[in-house]
Every structure is written in C-alpha cells, then in structure tokens.
Amino acid sequence: MTFTSGDHPSTGLAGSLSRSPTSPRTLFSTVMTVVAFLCGILALLPLIAVLSYIIIQGVSSLRLDLFTKLPPPPLVPGGGFGNAILGTLLMVGIAALISIPFGVLAAIYLTEFSTGKTSRWIRFATNVLSGVPSIIAGVFAYGIVVAATGGFSAVAGGVALSILMLPIIVRTTDEALQLVSQDLRQAAVGLGATKFQTVALVVVPAAVPAIVTGATLAIARAAGETAPLLFTALFSQYWSNGIFEPTASLAVLVFNFAISPFKNLQSLAWAASLILVLLVLLTSVIARWATSRKIQ
C-alpha cells in the first residue's frame, strides 16, 4: 500500500499538516503576536512624543544667527548660542581625547593580555563605573581639577565627561575584540607574527567598526550631560578665551534658559534643545553606519 502526503501510516486515512485557524495554539500565537506588536509601538511613543514636541517648539525659534551670536540679556530679542555650540564641541573633544585612547588600550589589555582573574575584576569595575550617576563624576572632577586649578574650565568639563565615556568605550571595544575570529589570530601567529603585531595589525583593524560605534555612542551620551558641567565648566555668556576658562555648553544653556521667566530665553532653550537632539541623532547615525560594517 502506498500513502499520499499526510496519510496516517496505520490507518491510511488522509490528514492535513496545516493547523486549524481556530485551534487554541493558533489563537494564542496570534494574540501574543499582536501584543508584542503593540508593545513595540508603545516603546516608540515616548521617543516620538519627545522628538515631536522639541521639533514643534524648536523649529519656530531657529535662525541662522543663532550659530554666530551670543545669548542676549533678558527681554532683548535676537541673540544666539554660538558660544555654547563651540563649548560643547570643545569639551566633548577633550573628553574624547582622554577616554578613547585609554578605553581602547584598556580593552585590548583585557581581551588579549590579561589573566582571567584580573580581567574579571577590571570588567566588574567598569560595570560599576558605568552605573555611577553623572553628578558624582562632576563632583569628582570638581575635587581633582577645579579645586586644584582654582577655577571652572573646559578642561575640568572634559575630564568629567571622559569619566562617563570611559566605561562605554571599554565595554564596546572589549566585546568587539572578543568577536574577532580566533582563526585570524592563529593565521597571523602561523605566519610568524608576534603577539603585539597580531593585535596591532590584525585584531584591532578587524574590530574598528565596532570600536567606532562605541566611541560615537559615548560621545552622544557626553554631549547631552548637564550635571557634571555644572560642577566643572559652569557657564559663560561670552566666547571662551581658552580651555582654562568657564565655558558654555548647550546642555547647561537649556537648563538655565528653560527655567527662566523670560520668553526670549525660553525660545533659545527650545532651539538649543533641537540642535542638541540633532547632534545626538547624527552621532547615532554614524554609530549605526559603523555597525553595519560587519567584523570580518
């Protein structure tokens, strides 16, 4: 006797492998799919609401002279926040110069050179540091930089931001290096390369896309921090004369002007919020682009 597809081997009766649309398992699967979809939509709602509100409020206040002028006095129309944009870029740049080299080198040591016990303790310390509130980083930078130099400055702000950026860079770089195939390492050793040559010429270049991703995400976080800069860079209504002077930033400007009772300053706060969000969005796009380049 021969059986067709779906025939039961003992009875010879034809059957169907498809599941009934009214069966409990099918209904449960459909309901859970709908619930998961709704949860995904709900997760997007806060982001959409925040972006929409900032765009609506900020676009109406945008002008070209915002990028070239200084903040105006209360009740005086016009002005801008060019000094705050420059100060933000300056302090984030200082933080990147400090945290990226140290973070990448620390991750290389963890992945390639450290023993198991040492690496576990360093990774634990990195995880603890990533959970430290940003205001604590500001207080620490105040104690070691502001108190030592006798004044608020962009350098102090950069040090505070670098403390926040460091664990992000270490963790993402560490994970990126671990994802590099062991075959690449073994091939380099087989060709006579030393450990240093293998790491510098094979492993790190293969992990560069993910390292760039970690660096850009860390920069995005640092650009939006306010509390550490209140303790370190403070604020200034004028153009910065140097890295050892009080320096304006977009985040602190938003904090100061948003709670102001003057409409012209509140308008500048909304415009600065929009610019800050666009800067963070730009760094996130760069991180996304770097991530799309898969590690070979």
Q: Dump pLDDT digits (tens) for 93-107.
A: 999 999 999 999 999
Whether 135 is in a domain gets the answer yes
42 occurs within a structural domain = no
Asked, for residue 272, whether it belongs to a domain, the answer is yes
User: Has residue 74 been placed in a domain?
Assistant: yes
pLDDT value at position 1? 45
Q: What is the mean pLDDT of residues 27-43?
A: 92
CA dihedral 111, 132, 210, 116 (to 10 degrees): 10
Say if residue 18's pLDDT is above 80: no
Indicate which CATH number applies to the domain containing 150.
1.10.3720.10
DSSP 282: H
Q: Give this prediction's pTM.
A: 0.83
Q: Which domain holds residue 214?
A: 64-292
> CB–CB of 127/168 below 8 Å?
no
Give the contacts of 141 (CB within 8 A, at least 6 positions apart): 156, 157, 159, 160, 163, 228, 231, 232
Determine the Cα–Cα distance for residues 49 and 158; give it in Å rounded to an integer: 31
Does 13 reside within a domain? no
* Count of domains for the chain: 1
Closest CA to 155 of 110, 218, 92: 92
Domain contains 118: yes
Residue 76 resides in a domain: yes
Instruction: Yes or no: say if 224 and 284 are a contact pair by the CB < 8 Å rule.
Output: no
pLDDT at residue 35, as a whole number: 94
Reported as a pLDDT band with limits 50, 70 and 90, residue 2 is: very low
User: Is residue 251 situated within a structural domain?
Assistant: yes
Specify the pLDDT at position 13. Answer: 47
